[in-house]
Amino acid sequence: AVVNLDNSVVDLETLQALYENRAQSDELEKIEKHSKASKEKENAKSLDKPEQFLYELSLIPNFSERVFCILFQSTFSESICSIRRKLELLQKLCEVGVMQVLGLVLAFGNYMNGGNRTRGQADGFGLDILPKLKDVKSSDNSRSLLSYIVSYYLRNFDEDAGKEQCIFPLPDPQDLFQVSQMKFEDFQKDLRKMKKDLRACETEAAKVYQLSLEEHLQPFKDNMEQF
């Protein structure tokens, strides 16, 4: 199943467990040493089933290298898609209404602070001011800056305002929350790990090409080169 890349015989979950529990080089050395000594002695104790199993697992041609590549290939597309989905959601939210609304906040803020040298004509603002928009009141205290921005947006940017086809101009709150939890450092970390594992996969695959007998090269070689 490992040599023929046949997941119907041994599924990927089982393969992962076998890979994680494979004998390490020092363990394998002791098992092989005992196995060799057993053949030379008549009444020597044979290997217990777990050790026998690990020993037979090690007889599969380049088991460790092959399984590392198979497992990495199986998760690669899913990992890339997961990162892409998050970035596409982030991009979509930036393009939907948000830029116009934030642009209005900046424009009105700059107008109100026009005579202030330190705060007027700013290129941007900290997001922490957004919850405070409702606290900035008109001179007669009848409305807030927040309600004025909303009504201005509806009058000047939303052609469908008040009609049946009118849609909420901001993204779904759940999407906003999800995006607010995203960190570019996490994307970079995930991509660095994938790049490192991809290089390791190339190295492990090259070992298989180099060390395997001709009869054990395919379909692994074609599959990995295509991947």
CA dihedral angle for residue 140, residue 141, residue 144, residue 149, rounded to 10 degrees: -10
Domain C-terminal end among 147, 170, 193: 170
Residue 211 falls within a domain, yes or no?
A: yes
Do 77 and 64 lie in a common domain?
Answer: yes
Do 43 and 68 lie in a common domain?
Answer: yes
Q: DSSP 3-state assignment of 18? A: helix
Q: What's residue 43's pLDDT?
A: 66
Radius of gyration of the chain (CA): 31
Do 12 and 90 lie in a common domain?
Answer: yes
Q: What's residue 188's pLDDT?
A: 95
Q: What's residue 44's pLDDT?
A: 67
Residue 112 falls within a domain, yes or no?
A: yes
Do 83 and 69 lie in a common domain?
Answer: yes
**Measured over all CA atoms, what is the biggest interatomic distance in the chain, rounded to whole angstroms?**
105
- Domain carrying residue 114: 97-170
Do 90 and 49 lie in a common domain?
Answer: yes
Do 28 and 86 lie in a common domain?
Answer: yes
Do 101 and 44 lie in a common domain?
Answer: no
Do 81 and 192 lie in a common domain?
Answer: yes
Predicted structure pTM score: 0.66
Q: What's residue 23's pLDDT?
A: 86
Do 112 and 141 lie in a common domain?
Answer: yes
Q: What's residue 97's pLDDT?
A: 66
pLDDT averaged per 10 residues in sequence order, the chain, 227 residues: 87 90 86 77 76 87 93 93 93 80 90 79 88 92 92 86 81 88 94 95 95 92 95
User: Which residue blocks in 41-136 are alpha helix, DSSP H?
Assistant: 49-58, 63-93, 99-112
Number of domains making up the chain = 2
